[in-house]
Amino acid sequence: MIAIYKREYRAYFQNMVGSFFLAFLIGFVGVYFVTYNLNYGYNFFAYALSSGLLMMILAVPILTMRSFSEERKSKTDQLLLTSPLKLHSVVVGKYLAMISILAMACLVFCLCPLIIKLQGDAHLKIDYTAIFVFFLIGCVYIAVGMFISALTESQIIAAIGTMAALLLIYFWRHLVSLLPSGAGANVVMLLVLLVLVCLIIQAYMQTWAVTLTIGGVGTVALVVAYF
């Protein structure tokens, strides 16, 4: 696992993907920090982080798109599967490499509450808790991106699919409010969404066993939740 971690971490900076991710995320959060906290005088760094969540949705697909799709395209995934390494070690090694890059950005963000305190009143506990939550949300987004990257050989499809999934998660609360309020209508809408997800998984993986399992588990979960 450590060997996979070191290889992936080094590769992200050799091909500039890691540097681009850091520059993009830190740059936009920095703009929000200057605007909200320094210019407008808000003493909560959490305002800048909440605005930066949308920027992270745009940046994470660039970071995760090559995690498994590149391995599948170059057929090096077969080498990993036949190597002495266990599959979970490969997955965890790649995942830790990506969240390490995210952690570097969060370490930079840790300076911002201190800068606010130099300007006057600050809420360090709240701001550092917000940074930690921002990091955890990023870890979830990276996990989603890794999963979608494992479904396709195309990095472009992986990036677009990840961005679409993350936008769906981000706007889910607003989308749910548009659904009919009746339980029956909600079940129908969620079943339609489940069918679409199963069709996408089948198109990528070409494995009916996995598709039917996910569909069955999702259907049972809906029945238990609503009936």
Q: What's the rounded Cα separation, in Å, for the pair 14 and 130?
A: 31
Q: Would you place residue 220 in the very low, low, confident or very high pLDDT band (cuts 50, 70, 90)?
A: confident
Residue type, 4: I
Statement: residue 122 has pLDDT above 80: yes
Which pLDDT does position 82 carry in this prediction? 65
Q: How many residues does the chain have?
A: 227
Residue-wise pLDDT tens digits, 193-203: 788 778 777 76
pLDDT at 150: 83
Are the C-beta atoms of residues 107 and 23 closer than 8 Å to each other? no
Mean pLDDT, residues 82-101 taken together: 83
The mean pLDDT value of the chain amounts to 84
Instruction: Please give the average per-residue pLDDT across 212-223, as a whole number.
Output: 82
Residue 98 per-residue DSSP state:
H
Decide if pLDDT at 130 tops 90.
yes
Gap between the Cα atoms of 202 and 209, Å rounded: 9
Where is average pLDDT lowest: 8-22, 106-120, 181-195?
181-195
Q: Examine the pLDDT at 147 and tell me if it is beyond 70.
A: yes
In this prediction, residue 69 has a pLDDT band, given cuts at 50, 70 and 90, of confident
- Band (pLDDT 50/70/90 cuts) for residue 7 is confident
Q: Which residues make Cβ contacts (< 8 Å) with residue 67, sequence separation at least 6?
A: 8, 94, 98, 145, 146, 149, 150
Question: Which two three-digit tokens encode residue 170?
Answer: 């981000």
Read off the DSSP letter of residue 99.
H
Query: What is the amino acid identity at position 171?
Result: F
Position 8 pLDDT exceeds 80? yes
